[in-house]
């Protein structure tokens, strides 16, 4: 694939991530923080988010698997996941966390279990999207092209 | 005046989330601040403890670290997350405002939850700002005037008689900075500060009066704003 074609594909793909609600404006903020002195900032932060989230999802699974579920503890984990997802602009994960926290407050175990599945699903969906996005970027750079600046401003 | 290189403002950032720490650190660095990031309130106090002792009297209860080791490590502002396990951002704020050696350092609280009672509680306790997460560049730009004020306070700190009064003013009006500045400038002629200091202070105020936005001599301001100018 030639560079121009890959660049167009990247632009389309990124746009679709916004259109489908995977990303919100906070992701554009992250991109603004990336410059020559810190060319990998976005990839670094998003990778940290992946690691952090996988650990939290694991903790959540264990916490909800207890005989007597400590809903405060569950809520604390969800709060953390909500915070980091909102910091990178992973909107759908964040929204799923908001619903999750309501069930924590109600101490609704069934609701919490359902939300855990929902959050996991959203997390792996957006993780796959990011993997595709970063792979495309790498391919463009490897082919000697530059990453086109984000043109979406209305999000 | 204004010819010496302005040292970077130093911000101590406190957040238990690794992702958020990385983000706030980058936000501050791209805005030309020097940053120290720690993951808890107790680590923040630990860091401040070693510097709080710097150049202080021997009666200071904080265990001493060789003062020279920490020279130049001055904290101009603390920005802390509200919700942290163990010591919350609010607890940290209270501890700082209760400490005679630390209470001059402005504290800004960040929180992902917009809870009005929480916000007013923090402001009443002496926080300068309450920023909603996720933090953006426009939020970081709001920190600038608070740093400037610390510098001003630092100058006055050398005049012990002024201290208690000044702290009182600031604590009672956390959000009314401009009024405070006016008050301070009116205050100046009566102050018994050494000649060179008085000159420095009144110059500062003059600059503020001329250009409230900049507050610093143009050459200094340019250096510090250059990092942001690219956006």
The DSSP line for A99-112 is HHHHHHHHT-HHHH
Percent of chain B with pLDDT over 90: 48
Pairing of strands B34-38, B10-14: parallel
Which comes out higher in pLDDT, residue A68 or B172? A68
B77 assigned to some structural domain:
yes
pLDDT score, position A151: 56
Mean pLDDT of B163-190: 42
Domain count across chain A: 1
CA–CA separation, B152 and B129 (whole Å): 18
Same domain as B214, residue B181: yes
Same domain as B224, residue B166: yes
B1 assigned to some structural domain:
no
B5 assigned to some structural domain:
no
CA–CA separation, B134 and B111 (whole Å): 8
Q: Please report, in tens digits, the pLDDT of each residue of chain A (155 residues total).
A: 799 999 999 999 999 999 999 999 999 999 999 998 999 999 999 999 999 999 999 999 999 999 999 999 999 999 999 999 999 999 999 999 999 999 999 999 999 999 999 999 999 999 999 999 999 999 999 999 988 776 555 44
pLDDT score, position B83: 96
A146 assigned to some structural domain:
no
Residue B147 — very low, low, confident or very high, per pLDDT cuts 50/70/90?
Answer: confident
Which comes out higher in pLDDT, residue A83 or B208? A83
CA–CA separation, B73 and B144 (whole Å): 19
Sign of the torsion angle spanned by Cα atoms B57, B62, B64, B70 = negative
Same domain as B175, residue B107: no
Q: What is the ipTM of this complex?
A: 0.93
Q: Say if residue B211's pLDDT is above 80.
A: no
Same domain as B148, residue B136: no
pLDDT score, position B73: 73
Out of B110, B141, B172, a domain closes at: B141
Distance from CA of B183 to the nearest CA of A (A): 38
Pairing of strands B77-81, B34-38: unpaired
Out of B117, B141, B165, a domain closes at: B141
Same domain as B134, residue B62: yes
B46 assigned to some structural domain:
yes
A152 assigned to some structural domain:
no
* Coil/strand/helix, residue B75: coil
Percent of chain B with pLDDT over 70: 51
Same domain as B214, residue B170: yes
CA–CA separation, B169 and B182 (whole Å): 12
Out of B123, B141, B159, a domain closes at: B141
Structural domain for B193, as ranges: 144-229
A71 assigned to some structural domain:
yes
Which residue in B22, B136, B231 is closest to A45 by CB distance?
B22
B134 at the A interface (CB within 8 A)?
yes
CA–CA separation, B85 and B4 (whole Å): 43
Domain count across chain B: 2
CA–CA separation, A147 and B12 (whole Å): 33
Could B23 and A30 be called an inter-chain contact, meaning their C-beta atoms sit closer than 8 Å?
yes
DSSP A90: B
Same domain as B223, residue B113: no
Same domain as B113, residue B26: yes
B22 at the A interface (CB within 8 A)?
yes
Q: Which residues of B touch A105 (CB under 8 A)?
A: none
Same domain as B32, residue B126: yes
Same domain as B211, residue B183: yes
Same domain as B156, residue B120: no
Could A87 and B133 be called an inter-chain contact, meaning their C-beta atoms sit closer than 8 Å?
yes
pLDDT score, position A87: 98
Which comes out higher in pLDDT, residue B194 or A139? A139
Q: What is the CATH number of the domain that holds A68?
A: 1.20.120.160
pLDDT score, position B230: 33
Structural domain for A92, as ranges: 3-33+41-134
């Amino acid at each position: 694939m030639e560079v121009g074609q890959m660049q167009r594909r990247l632009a389309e793909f990124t746009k679709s991530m916004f259109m489908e609600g995977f990303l919100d404006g906070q992701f554009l903020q992250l991109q603004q923080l990336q410059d020559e002195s810190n060319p990998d900032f976005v990839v670094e932060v998003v990778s940290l988010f992946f690691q952090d989230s996988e650990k939290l999802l694991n903790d959540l699974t264990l916490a909800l698997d207890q005989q007597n579920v400590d809903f405060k503890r569950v809520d604390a984990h969800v709060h953390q996941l909500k915070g980091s997802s909102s910091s990178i602009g992973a909107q759908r994960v964040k929204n799923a966390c908001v619903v999750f926290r309501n069930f924590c407050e109600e101490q609704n175990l069934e609701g919490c279990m359902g939300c855990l599945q929902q959050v996991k699903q959203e997390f792996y969906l957006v993780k796959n999207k990011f993997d595709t996005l970063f792979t495309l970027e790498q391919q463009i750079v490897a082919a000697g092209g530059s990453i086109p600046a984000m043109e979406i401003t209305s999000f | 005046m204004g010819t010496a290189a302005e040292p970077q403002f130093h911000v101590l950032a406190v957040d238990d989330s690794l992702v958020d720490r990385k983000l706030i650190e980058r936000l501050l660095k791209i805005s030309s601040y020097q940053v120290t990031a720690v993951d808890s309130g107790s680590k923040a106090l630990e860091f401040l403890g070693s510097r709080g002792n710097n150049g202080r009297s021997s009666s200071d209860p904080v265990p001493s670290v060789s003062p020279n080791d920490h020279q130049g490590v001055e904290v101009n502002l603390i920005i802390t997350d509200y919700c942290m396990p163990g010591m919350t951002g609010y607890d940290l704020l209270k501890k700082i405002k209760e400490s005679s050696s630390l209470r001059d350092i402005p504290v800004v609280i960040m929180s992902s939850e917009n809870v009005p009672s929480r916000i007013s509680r923090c402001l009443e306790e002496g926080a300068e700002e309450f920023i909603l997460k996720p933090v953006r560049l426009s939020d970081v730009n709001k920190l600038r005037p608070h740093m400037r004020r610390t510098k001003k306070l630092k100058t006055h700190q050398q005049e012990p008689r002024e201290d208690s009064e000044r702290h009182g003013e600031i604590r009672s009006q956390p959000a009314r900075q401009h009024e405070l500045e006016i008050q301070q400038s009116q205050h100046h002629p009566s102050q018994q500060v050494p000649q060179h200091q008085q000159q420095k202070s009144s110059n500062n105020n003059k600059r503020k009066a001329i250009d409230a936005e900049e507050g610093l001599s143009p050459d200094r301001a340019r250096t510090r704003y250059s990092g942001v100018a690219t956006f």
